Amino acid sequence: MSRPTNDLLLRAARGERTERTPVWLMRQAGRFDPKYREIRQGCGLQLEELFRNPQLAAEITMLPVRFGVDAAILFQDILTPLAPMGAPFVFRPGPLLAHPIRVPGDLERLRSFDSREELGFVRTSIELVRSELADTLPLIGFAGAPLTLATFMIEGGSPGDSVDRTRALMQGEPALCHQLLDLLARITADYLMMQIEAGVHVVQLFESVADLFTCAEYELFAQPYQEAVLRALKGSCPTILFVNEQPYLDLMVRTGADVLSVGRCVALSEARRRYGDQVAFQGNVDNRVLRDGDFDQIDEAVGRCLIAGARAGHILNLNHGVVRDTPVENVCRFIETAKSFAFEPVVVDEPGG
């Protein structure tokens, strides 16, 4: 695979010290952007149909490039692999699954599948974006982590702040949960490998519901399946593990991810001190500051994060995705500040000094 001319993110993912810290934002191709909203309104498609339209998905993927980000991330949804496995969903406006997983018999309608055959529209989107990028920036692919997908399937849609049904199934039918998670891990690994074969430079695994589970639940039902997915991808491309607002760094490191994307609950400088020789880090500016802060507050938050990251194995991002009502000018300020930030010069003692 050809290497993009801007390879800051790839070098940072390897733990290298970079001349400046690369920057991108989760949900950077999304609802805060008026150009995205124009496309949504003009195309007349439901969101699940939009994800399956390679031309429009590629166009939306490219929108944040105009802001100056150091990587593009594919416009897609974490639930995309569920439909071909027998759990179709729609967005009205949030995701809804017609037939949630609640009892052992519900697993009988699920199946494994070949992503290359069933999700060809994702591959086509990647190829279109790679052609448009013309090797200028890296392209990030992604998937939902098994526990996150399982939670959507059990709850019947977005869990919000409650995972009562999922927790009840974990306690009452643990074998069912592990069977579902094992199937999802195999499907997710195949799906991400398809994206890598199609041309993405990096993949990110989203454990978006991690903050809703206890440490014991996370260790039993999340970490082993994250590790299974990432093990299957080992050596294919850099991998990023996003865990939403949980401080379980020791469990996260054990997955084998190259980069850990951490939330505001993690002190980045301390995380680097403890684990910086094993993994790189991504994050972790509070997305509420980006939405609600003025330019001075954004500058301060970005500066603190960049200093903690020290340009060594650090990718600047948010603790989570860009919030829907974030002003576009705040996003631009975030990126401009990141790219122009002046680090204090490093003083090196001369021999005999």
The string of pLDDT tens digits covering residues 196-248 is 999 999 999 999 999 999 999 999 999 999 999 999 999 999 999 999 999 99
Q: Give a yes or no: residue 269 inside a domain.
A: yes
Which residues, other chains included, contact 103 with Cβ-Cβ below 8 Å and sequence gap of 6+? Answer: 173, 176
User: How far does the chain reach from its first CA to its final CA, in angstroms?
Assistant: 47
CB 39 within 8 A of CB 56: yes
Q: Say if 117 falls within a structural domain.
A: yes
- Secondary structure (DSSP) of 189-203: HHHHHHHHHHT-SEE
At 6-44, the pLDDT tens digits run 999 999 999 999 999 999 999 999 999 999 999 999 999
* pTM across the whole model: 0.95
Rounded-to-integer distance, Cα 230 and Cα 336, Å: 33
CATH number, domain at 306?
A: 3.20.20.210
Predicted confidence at residue 345, as pLDDT, reads: 53
Instruction: Give the number of domains in the chain.
Output: 1
Distance from C-alpha of 147 to C-alpha of 192, rounded to nearest angstrom? 16
**What SS3 class is residue 155?**
helix
Is there a domain that residue 13 lies in?
yes
- Among 301, 305, 309, 310, which Cα is nearest to 344's? 310
How does strand 239-243 pair with strand 202-207? parallel
Residue 2 within any structural domain of the chain: no
Q: Is 219 part of any domain? A: yes
Q: 161 lies in which domain range?
A: 8-340
Whether residue 350 lies inside any domain: the answer is: no
Tens of pLDDT along the chain (353 residues) come to 789 999 999 999 999 999 999 999 999 999 999 999 999 999 999 999 999 999 999 999 999 999 999 999 999 999 999 999 999 999 988 899 988 998 989 999 999 999 999 999 999 999 999 999 999 999 999 999 999 999 999 999 999 888 999 999 999 999 999 999 999 999 999 999 999 999 999 999 999 999 999 999 999 999 999 999 999 999 999 999 999 999 999 999 999 999 999 999 999 999 999 999 999 999 999 999 999 999 999 999 999 999 999 999 999 999 999 999 999 999 999 999 999 998 865 433 344 43
Residue 34 lies in a domain: yes
Q: What is the pLDDT of residue 343?
A: 80
- Structural domain includes residue 347: no
